[in-house]
Structure 1
Amino acid sequence: MKKSQHPYLQTAGLVAGGTTLLLAALAVKYPDRPAFTESRDDIPSSGGYPLIGIAPGIIRNKERLHEYFLEGFEKLNTLTNTAVGLGMPRSVATIDPRNIEHILKTNFENYVKGPMLNESSSDLLGHGIFNANGEVWKYQRKTASLIFNVKNFRDHFTKVFIQHIHFMSKNIFDESAANGKPVDFHDIMFKFTLDSFVELSFGVDLHALGSGDKVPFAASFDVCQLNAFQRFVNPAFKITEALSNIFMPWKKSIQQHLDTMDDFAFDVIEKRRKQLADGETYGDLLSRFMNATNEHGQPLNNKELRDVVLNFVIAGRDTTAQALSWTFYSLLTNPHVEEKLLAEVRENITDELENDPAALLNEVLRLYPSVPANQKYALNDDVWPDGTVIKKNDYVLWSPWSQGRSTKVWGEDAKEFKPERWLTEDGEVRRESPGKWPAFHAGPRTCLGQNLATLEALVAIVTLLRRYEFTLVPGQEITYQVSLTLPMKNGMNVYVNHRQ
């Protein structure tokens, strides 16, 4: 006689069967997106998997996300699409210049830094200008704008930058040329701009260029920036970071890295308060903001000063280092461009910068934008210039990296490095709409330091090009690391020789 099944097993079997039926029903209802997410049939979509959307694609392509996004636009033959993955909010992505200008400029007030960005980066960025919205942002922007337009601040900026160029040349590139050992150009650029922007911001010399290893502030700074992006693409970051702290106690936690940065910042701020009280004068950003007030008319406290100044370091240091690195990579892989540029540089012995270097930098930032992808959050319903309907609480994405390589935006030669595309028949530098070339953002949030950063980058390019001949070390992979900005994943090793 057959024994009857245990009642617990019968119940488990019924639950399993019911769960399977429920999942099957949900998979039919949500064949290409996560369960309970809204279908957007009015917007092109490359689809995804039942119940999980594009999550597998994101995971498979996490080291090459920018190519993955470009492939999505090219596959659909469109400049706007939509996709959603498990744990991701509803998002609409575009590389249409009209839409991007609409987001950044025309309907600026409707698009803000959203909850995702704030949550992933608030402990690093605080309420600084990079992360702020509304009145907090407006007041910081106004104060920073006044400071950036003061002539003696601009003169101080240039003096500090040139000082560190000379130190870098004498102590690193000259030494490499003498001993024949290659150096990591990308790492040197990061140390150079970190020293420059920390001195401009805090008025102290970090000595990153003179140190063989990363100084503690620099090491923690890099870890926290990379982590901010990883949080952005990992909705479960609070859980994964907590598990990492438990199972890898020997590894310095994100909070410990933040403490290292804060200890440095607060120590400098307290010392500067005393120095200013004793009648000393300083030209750095910190000292200037100590004389400013917040949106409530109150002097900035230490936390507010920390946020303001660190945001400036983050905004300037990485973008400038990466622009210089990708510029020299582009020159070394396009020797005919380097030869033409060098000839012009040698002719201009007065140090006046003609148009070719500016066209070069524009082309570098077209293909290697310092912020390769960006995102905002819609406060209200909207309709984009291409007819796309945006709904309240949508996240909107745009990808300057994908846009720069799109043949629908830049023509059949979009993926080629051609600085001459920026020159008119009269030899003047061509201007493009900020929606087509959003290298420095656009609208009310246009980069305050655009003119300063461009000038200093061009000075560095011309100085290094005149003095040195760089050669790529064979056999290395030069590619980007997926982050909030566009660093080189493995650096860029070069041999150095003096120009004849």
Structure 2
Amino acid sequence: MIMLTIPLTVAVTLILTLFLFAYHQTKCLKTPAFTNWPFVGMLPQFLWNISDIHDFSAKLLTSKGGTMEFIGPWFTNMYAVITNDPLNVHYIMSKRFDNFEKGERFRETFQPFGLGIFTTDSHQWKYNRNLLQYLFKQRSFEAFQEKIIHNKVEKSLIPLLNHVQQQNGSVVDLQDVFNRFTFDNICSIILGHDPNCLSIDFPEVVCEKAFNQAEESIFYRHTVPACVWKLQSWLQIGEEKKMTEACKVFDQFLYSCIASKCEELKKNGNKNEINGQSNDAHHVDLLTALIREENSKGSESESIGNKFLRDAAFNLFVAGRDTITSALTWLFYLVATHPLVEAKIVEEIKENFGHKEKPWILSVDEVKKLVYLHGAICEALRLFPPIPFERKQAIEADILPSGHHVFPNKMVFFSLYSMGRDANIWGEDCLEFKPERWISERGGIVYAPSYKFFSFNAGPRTCLGRELALIQVKMIAASILWNYCVHVVGDHQVTPSLSIVLLMKHGLKVKISKRGI
């Protein structure tokens, strides 16, 4: 017993010493240092800075020229190349697309996503993408989304904000408002069901809370060796227990919606095709469209069909809900703290649509005229990308343009957050919020290549819903900014959350007042 205790004590002392030294080194140096320590590798500095990991990574990658190797403890498989170099992004996402995949380790980590468009590779991914691309391109879909957003803004968002501003001095969490708005919105678009999360009494919706927890637990899996979270999963303790319980709740919600929708279609005789010819086509939600498309091809069995529908719906929730919440939250924080930008956005709206009566919601065609608002949204996405990191896995050994070697089955992480804050990519004013950088001298929109502006992914995996997302953010932002002034509470702490989606850890606490124009 004594012989076992002494080595264990020595090992613990050694690890603690290394952690303390790493902490001292990290906090004392202006430029963070990443040292590959014996036994524990580079993990100590990573863990010491986990609460500020995005800014820490940005400074670290800048000091390393944009690309570095991460080596974890010797007894783990934690090895990766981390990069924000646009040339590496272009190489991996476009030029050598076939040599870099999500891989089985990705699917394990993102297990709640199932086999949807975000986790699959090769033929399975192509099938998912082609199917969704076909559905998104239906003539009725944009009109359907526009109608859903218009109704939710008019009947839920505006009344709620009116209620808040009437309570003098009342503080509201705008991120929570956007969370509820986008959850209702995406439920209506995907499932044809509005859970009414967004109401004056701010009800707690169990399935919405479960979805948030699942995403937080997935991020946790990225911060520890796989053997740790797999052991926790086996024992059902800690974050893994929370993950299991959350997924069970959200899956029950999804499967009940799928069952209800299938029963509804059976009763209606599967009428109203999705080719845009039906008079009722604009009422078709994505779940209905998916079921009809799958039925037309003939699923092997009902259970396989339901699992496919569940995975497709879960992936669409991630794509169309949290990313929009993130974009809106950071946009309003930046606009509220930059009065000149706010004034220019309001002036642009006034010049184009000042004749319209308030409150109002602009149409899809109308928001496309708001160039300065478009620039502000792109700036918010550049500085605070909704998905702060992306990862790929090499199939065969390769050499990146930066000269770094990538080995088979090893990870490559893209830090989207640090890309937007790198002076080598965006210039010395990269930390400034400047919508003008997206506007040409003639007043048109400036388009940056996707491997530089990586918020909507790049190459064959470029986001299918890019334009739909931008339109949605513009419609919501224009409606709020035309009707209200948003004031961030003075002592409110703004800190990025630790999740796979870049939200605010403490929400966005604001006061609302009527705008006098």
Q: Which residue of 2 aligns with 1:221?
A: 211
Q: 1:230 aligns with which of 211, 216, 220?
A: 220
| Compared CA separation, residues 79 and 17, structure 1 to 2 (3 A) | closer
Letter in 2 for 1:475: D
Distance in 2 between residues matched to 1:175 and 1:242, nearest whole Å: 47
Cα deviations across residues 399-430 of structure 1 (Å, max 9, x unaligned)? 11101111111111111111111112212211
* Structure 1 residue 471: Cα displacement: 0.8
The normalised TM-score by structure 2 is 0.85
Q: Which residue of 1 aligns with 2:25?
A: none
Q: 1:432 aligns with which of 448, 457, 460?
A: 448
* Structure 1 residue 144: Cα displacement: 0.5
Q: Which residue of 1 aligns with 2:247?
A: 258
Distance in 1 between residues matched to 2:78 and 2:297, nearest whole Å: 34
Cα deviations across residues 345-385 of structure 1 (Å, max 9, x unaligned)? 11111753231111111111110101111111000122222
Q: Which residue of 2 aligns with 1:28?
A: none
User: What secondary structure, in the 3-state scheme, does the structure 2 residue paired with 1:293 have?
Assistant: helix
Cα deviations across residues 447-482 of structure 1 (Å, max 9, x unaligned)? 111111111111111111101111111101011102
Q: Which residue of 1 aligns with 2:26?
A: none
Q: Which residue of 1 aligns with 2:350?
A: 346
Q: Which residue of 2 aligns with 1:337?
A: 341
Distance in 2 between residues matched to 1:18 and 1:142, nearest whole Å: 55
Q: Which residue of 1 aligns with 2:49?
A: 61
Contact 2:451-2:458 at 8 Å conserved across structures? yes
* Structure 1 residue 442: Cα displacement: 0.9
User: What secondary structure, in the 3-state scheme, does the structure 1 residue paired with 2:246 have?
Assistant: helix
* Structure 1 residue 297: Cα displacement: 6.2
Distance in 2 between residues matched to 1:186 and 1:135, nearest whole Å: 38
Report whether the alignment pairs 1:372 with 2:360.
no
Q: Which residue of 2 aligns with 1:80?
A: 67
Q: 2:134 aligns with which of 107, 127, 146?
A: 146
Q: Which residue of 2 aligns with 1:285?
A: 286
* Structure 1 residue 296: Cα displacement: 9.0
Q: For structure 1, which segment, 188-197 or 102-111, has the greater mean C-alpha deviation from structure 2 after superposition?
A: 102-111
Cα deviations across residues 159-215 of structure 1 (Å, max 9, x unaligned)? 111111123333310001111211110000010000000111111111111252321
Q: For structure 1, which segment, 207-216 or 417-426, has the greater mean C-alpha deviation from structure 2 after superposition?
A: 207-216
Distance in 2 between residues matched to 1:99 and 1:239, nearest whole Å: 34
Q: Which residue of 2 aligns with 1:35?
A: none
Q: For structure 1, which segment, 171-180 or 45-54, has the greater mean C-alpha deviation from structure 2 after superposition?
A: 45-54
Contact 2:326-2:503 at 8 Å conserved across structures? yes
User: What secondary structure, in the 3-state scheme, does the structure 2 residue paired with 1:489 have?
Assistant: coil
Distance in 2 between residues matched to 1:56 and 1:267, nearest whole Å: 44
Cα deviations across residues 243-264 of structure 1 (Å, max 9, x unaligned)? 664x99xx97432221211111
Q: Which residue of 1 aligns with 2:256?
A: 267
Q: Which residue of 2 aligns with 1:298?
A: 299
Q: Which residue of 2 aligns with 1:318?
A: 322
Contact 2:157-2:181 at 8 Å conserved across structures? no
Matched ranges for 1:107-146 at <5 A:
107-122=96-111, 124-146=112-134
* Structure 1 residue 241: Cα displacement: 4.8
Matched ranges for 1:339-418 at <5 A:
339-349=343-353, 351=362, 352=366, 353-418=369-434
Contact 1:129-1:141 at 8 Å conserved across structures? yes
Report whether the alignment pairs 1:239 with 2:249.
no
* Structure 1 residue 16: Cα displacement: 6.0
Distance in 2 between residues matched to 1:204 and 1:371, nearest whole Å: 26
Contact 1:140-1:294 at 8 Å conserved across structures? no
* Structure 1 residue 130: Cα displacement: 1.4
Q: Which residue of 1 aligns with 2:475?
A: 459
Structure of higher CA gyration radius: 1
| Compared CA separation, residues 294 and 304, structure 1 to 2 (3 A) | farther
Distance in 1 between residues matched to 2:448 and 2:113, nearest whole Å: 31
Q: Which residue of 2 aligns with 1:482?
A: 498
User: What secondary structure, in the 3-state scheme, does the structure 2 residue paired with 1:63 have?
Assistant: helix
Distance in 2 between residues matched to 1:443 and 1:461, nearest whole Å: 29
Distance in 1 between residues matched to 2:116 and 2:80, nearest whole Å: 25
Report whether the alignment pairs 1:174 with 2:151.
no
Distance in 1 between residues matched to 2:213 and 2:9, nearest whole Å: 42
Contact 2:233-2:241 at 8 Å conserved across structures? no
Contact 1:139-1:295 at 8 Å conserved across structures? no
Q: For structure 1, which segment, 316-325 or 101-110, has the greater mean C-alpha deviation from structure 2 after superposition?
A: 101-110
Distance in 2 between residues matched to 1:494 and 1:363, nearest whole Å: 21
Letter in 1 for 2:291: M
Q: For structure 1, which segment, 109-118 or 460-469, has the greater mean C-alpha deviation from structure 2 after superposition?
A: 109-118
Distance in 1 between residues matched to 2:102 and 2:86, nearest whole Å: 20
Cα deviations across residues 259-287 of structure 1 (Å, max 9, x unaligned)? 21111111111111111111166511111
Unmatched 5+ stretches in structure 2: 15-21, 23-32, 273-282, 357-361
* Structure 1 residue 295: Cα displacement: 13
* Structure 1 residue 98: Cα displacement: 1.0
Contact 2:213-2:242 at 8 Å conserved across structures? no
Contact 1:135-1:295 at 8 Å conserved across structures? no
Letter in 2 for 1:228: I
Distance in 1 between residues matched to 2:296 and 2:126, nearest whole Å: 8
Contact 2:148-2:188 at 8 Å conserved across structures? yes
Computed over aligned residues only, the root mean square deviation of the Cα atoms, in angstroms, reads: 2.7
Contact 1:371-1:484 at 8 Å conserved across structures? yes
Aligned residues: 466
| Compared CA separation, residues 214 and 114, structure 1 to 2 (3 A) | farther
Letter in 1 for 2:292: N
| Compared CA separation, residues 18 and 419, structure 1 to 2 (3 A) | closer
* Structure 1 residue 391: Cα displacement: 2.0
Contact 2:133-2:464 at 8 Å conserved across structures? yes
| Compared CA separation, residues 55 and 17, structure 1 to 2 (3 A) | closer
